[in-house]
Amino acid sequence: MHELGLLMEIVKTVEKFAVENKVGRIEKLVLQIGEISSVIPEYMKKVYPAAVEGSMLKDAALEIEILPANGRCLDCGREFHATVCGGVCPDCGSRNMKIISGRDFFIKEIECI
């Protein structure tokens, strides 16, 4: 389960940001996870308490936003939600597509006071 390791690195990154910006308290951490990334949101939520224990984030809420897996049809240029359409372009029916989003993983927001 690599989610714990990821969260521990995020904690380091957020704490460094907090120190550099003289943040007193972190209220919420918002992560964006692509729906076809290798990161499983449910696991992130499960291991979050262990990852933030003893850190500045120990009382911070975790919010996760799922980024859709979008594709671009290489035949007609249409962009579409690839997982909803089963990888088939809704305009021309082609399966010739390129994934353009959905593998991402970002720290979107750090809410602090």
Which residues are documented as binding site for Ni(2+)? 2
* Residues in the annotated binding site for Zn(2+): 73, 76, 89, 92
* Residues in the annotated binding site: 2, 73, 76, 89, 92
Q: Name the residue type at position 73.
A: C
Q: Half-sphere exposure of 40 toward its Cβ, with a 13 Å CA cutoff? A: 8
Q: Give a three-class secondary structure readout of 26-60.
A: EEEEEEEEECCCCCCHHHHHHHHHHHHCCCCCCCC
**93 token code pair:** 């029916």
Question: Which secondary-structure segment (H or E) carries 11?
Answer: helix 3-20
